């Protein structure tokens, strides 16, 4: 037995940090691990004493004398802080011994007794055996994506061990020095452009039946089919496949409206809750293809509801908790829902939101809804409709904790989604406290929220640690360079990359985005296309703009997440996205592309101003205004002007402690002249302590245009705003600014 144990060098360690890094690796800090002699790309075996799990991984980074080992990212899902692990390495062996004999490895119990012997598979698991074979990435799979870090086999004839070199594949639109990418080693930038389905792709998700073709349809006509013939259920991929190895691992960390209220839900608990609710829905007659409306507060049960619908093949439509009864009614009728899932009340910023009361008003005009499932969130008194209303907790207690997933086609609808979001307005240091509390690694928010936080001062941020942060993200609108720099310098302490992404609800995922560590960042730019995405810039005549230039942003080829239809009105989808420029998906955004191939979103095309015949984007003027140290945020719209045709109307929010004045207004006008030109000077500057925003932080420019044009009797529904009272203040100030 002793001789067998000596086949490997064993490191007994306690995990003090187990996090998935942004580059796909897992960092484990240990108080006992001695990494002297370990090598990059060396294969190792790990035995987790706490749960008895054994797995094989390999080293990505290791430094002699260090106590940190960076491994393949799969390790992050198999260890937790506090686990006792045995790490078996083989650095002490002659390399030929490892290949020839495939030595056995001994795993130890916590009391050092022998637990298991296993044949070591050999360190050639990820290697190519000839220099002309395809490149492979860190997991040994074929490298096929731009940005992959690949292991190139440069083995010479007669060498027993290949000499590995780490090479970064070029990304679309980015010039890569030819010295880093040998001509004989090329990556495919768009993995799905090869229409042949590969076994490797099939194994990336749990498919009950593999697909017969990757992509089909007529993009010019707005139709698309992806992974035709494939059968699966999304909840199997989200939950079931993790139960055998990660059942007790936390799947959801929930933070309540009150920071003292939080909970952690494991994969096993999530599975039981989802299955119970799926059975509740089935007991109310819901089947594959039926629609279910979810009108819930921000609670774990909202996630259970979405997954429960997917479990049985029902289509869910989420209506955010701040919407009015009228807005809720319209969405229920649009989707022809049969069941509504809601709560007695919601909590937002300490205020109670009467969800059930709103639901009762909406359902008075929704005869198709036969069941209303009500979660008891606050215990507030609610009206009750016998035969229609059922208590969530009572129905769940009577339901079985197992429900077989429905077999769904890859193109079956999963959900119906409206384009308005709903997340809470930032409150001082709340974000940063949550990051410290849960050791958050990635933080993702909107530029509008960042500017509001920046306006509150640095102290709210710097009084917290944020040491766990590794990656920052931003989305929703173009971010001005000043907010980007503050985000990077203050929030990320100049050590966290910022992923500035561009996408839309209709695209189903990121379309333009940098890859951290692989793409150089430019403040304010969404950088380059994601894998397989083919953006173009079109001029006013629909011609593609080559090289550096500016135009209307469109997409020229299908991608998996693209919009399939507007529910019940497919013609509207065609007219909105595919008719203006036939053969292209028109995003509605303008953009410019620089000499390096980086894209800069200039804003919605309908946000372009035409002042005295000169066209300019509102985002350009807004960026100039927020350069002033006293300005936290600015929003610019056009308004009718007798001489210019269209005038420039600027709403300006000042930093905390800054006071509005005529002198400051003059400084802002001079700043716009200096940064852009005299043509960009606002005709009206209105001081705005707050701007009308959705709960996701997006500015409702429709309302700003109405106020600027004095069309105050047609402001429309303001119930979807985070703070509807902001509009009253804007109207009062607009009347004083009339001219």
What DSSP assignment string belongs to 651-666? EEEEPTT----HHHHH
What DSSP assignment string belongs to 102-150? --EEEEE-TTS-EEEEEE---TTTT--SSTTSPPEETTSSBP-STT-EE
Distance CA 434, CA 448 (A): 19
Annotated active-site residue 58? The verdict is yes
Q: Do strands 54-62 and 549-555 pair parallel, antiparallel, or not at all (unpaired)?
A: unpaired
What DSSP assignment string belongs to 240-263? GGGHHHHTTSEEEEEE-SSTT-EE
Nearest Cα neighbor of 341 from 356, 362, 361 is 356
Quickly count: other Cβ atoms within 10 Å of residue 267's Cβ.
22
| Burial category of 57 from C-beta neighbours within 10 Å (exposed 0-12, middle 13-18, buried 19 and up) | buried
Nearest Cα neighbor of 143 from 182, 177, 194, 191 is 191
Provide the CB-side half-sphere exposure for 360 (13 A, CA): 13
Distance CA 609, CA 701 (A): 13
Rg (CA), the chain: 28
Catalytic residue, from 9, 231, 437, 630: name it: 9
Annotated active-site residue 25? The verdict is yes
- Pair 656, 456: CB distance under 8 Å: yes
Catalytic residue, from 25, 70, 429, 696: name it: 25
Catalytic residue, from 7, 30, 47, 58: name it: 58
Nearest Cα neighbor of 248 from 270, 264, 275, 268 is 268
For helices 325-335 and 355-363, angle between their N-to-C axes, nearest 10 degrees: 50
- Buried b / exposed e over 705-729, threshold 16 CB at 10 Å, is bbbbbeeeeebeebebbbeeebbee
Annotated active-site residue 90? The verdict is no
Catalytic residue list:
9, 25, 58
């Amino acid at each position: 037995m002793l001789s067998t144990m000596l086949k490997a060098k064993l490191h007994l360690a306690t995990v003090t940090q187990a996090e998935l890094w942004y580059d796909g690796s897992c960092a484990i800090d240990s108080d006992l691990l001695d990494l002297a002699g370990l090598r990059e790309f060396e294969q190792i075996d790990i035995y987790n004493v706490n749960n008895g799990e054994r797995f094989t991984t390999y080293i990505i980074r290791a430094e002699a004398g260090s106590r940190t080992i960076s491994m393949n990212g799969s390790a992050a899902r198999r260890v937790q802080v506090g686990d006792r692990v045995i790490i078996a390495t083989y650095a002490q062996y002659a390399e030929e011994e490892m290949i020839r004999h495939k030595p056995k490895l001994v795993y130890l119990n916590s009391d050092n007794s022998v637990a298991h012997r296993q044949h070591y598979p050999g360190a050639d698991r990820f290697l190519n055996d000839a220099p002309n074979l395809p490149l492979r990435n860190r997991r040994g799979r074929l490298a096929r994506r731009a940005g992959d870090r690949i292991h190139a086999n440069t083995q010479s004839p007669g060498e027993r061990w290949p000499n590995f070199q780490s090479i970064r594949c070029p990304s679309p639109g980015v010039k890569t020095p030819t010295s880093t990418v040998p001509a004989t080693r090329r990556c495919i930038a768009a993995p799905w452009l090869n229409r042949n389905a590969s076994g490797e792709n099939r194994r990336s998700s749990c498919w009950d039946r593999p697909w017969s073709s990757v992509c089909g349809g007529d993009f010019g006509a707005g139709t698309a089919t992806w992974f035709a013939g494939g059968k699966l259920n999304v909840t199997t991929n989200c939950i079931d496949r993790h139960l055998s190895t990660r059942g007790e691992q936390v799947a959801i960390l929930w933070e309540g409206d009150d920071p003292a209220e939080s909970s952690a839900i494991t994969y096993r608990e999530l599975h039981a809750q989802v299955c119970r609710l799926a059975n509740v829905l089935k007991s109310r007659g819901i089947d594959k293809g039926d629609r279910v409306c979810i009108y819930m507060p921000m609670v774990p049960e909202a996630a259970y509801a979405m997954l429960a619908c997917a479990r049985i093949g029902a289509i869910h439509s989420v209506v955010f908790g701040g919407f009015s009864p009228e807005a809720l009614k319209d969405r229920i009728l649009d989707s022809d829902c049969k069941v509504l899932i809601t709560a007695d009340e919601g909590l937002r910023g300490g205020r109670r939101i009467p969800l059930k009361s709103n639901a009762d008003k909406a359902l008075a005009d929704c005869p198709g809804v036969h069941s209303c499932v009500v979660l008891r969130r606050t215990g507030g008194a609610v009206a009750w409709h016998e035969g229609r209303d059922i208590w969530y907790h009572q129905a769940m207690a009577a339901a079985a904790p197992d429900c077989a997933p429905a077999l769904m086609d890859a193109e079956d609808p999963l959900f119906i989604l409206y384009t308005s979001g709903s997340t809470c307005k930032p409150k001082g240091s709340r974000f940063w406290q949550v990051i410290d509390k849960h050791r958050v690694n990635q933080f993702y928010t909107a530029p509008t929220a960042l500017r509001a936080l920046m306006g509150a001062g640095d102290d709210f941020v710097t009084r917290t640690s944020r040491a766990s942060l590794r990656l920052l993200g931003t989305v929703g609108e173009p971010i001005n360079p000043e907010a980007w720099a503050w985000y990077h310098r203050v929030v990320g302490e100049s050590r966290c990359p910022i992923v500035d992404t561009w996408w839309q609800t209709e695209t189903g995922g990121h379309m333009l985005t940098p890859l951290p560590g692989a793409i150089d960042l430019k403040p304010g730019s969404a950088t380059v296309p994601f894998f397989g995405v083919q953006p173009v810039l079109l001029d006013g005549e629909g011609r593609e703009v080559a090289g550096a230039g500016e135009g209307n942003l469109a997409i020229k080829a299908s991608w998996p997440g693209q919009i399939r239809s507007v529910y019940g009105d497919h013609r509207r989808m065609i007219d909105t996205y595919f008719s203006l420029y036939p053969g292209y998906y028109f995003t509605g955004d303008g953009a410019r592309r620089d000499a390096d191939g980086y894209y800069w979103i200039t804003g919605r095309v309908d946000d372009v101003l035409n002042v005295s015949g000169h066209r300019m984007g509102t985002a350009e003027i807004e960026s100039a205004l927020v350069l002033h140290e006293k300005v936290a945020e600015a929003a610019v719209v056009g308004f009718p002007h007798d001489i210019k045709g269209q005038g420039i109307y600027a709403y300006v929010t000042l930093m905390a402690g800054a006071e509005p004045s005529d002198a400051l207004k003059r400084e802002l006008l001079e700043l716009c002249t200096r940064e852009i030109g005299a043509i960009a000077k606002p005709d009206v500057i209105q001081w705005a302590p707050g701007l009308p925003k959705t709960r996701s932080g997006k500015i409702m420019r429709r309302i700003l245009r109405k106020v600027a044009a004095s069309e105050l009797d047609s402001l429309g529904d303001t119930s979807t705003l985070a703070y509807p009272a902001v509009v009253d203040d804007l109207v009062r100030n607009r009347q004083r600014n009339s001219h």
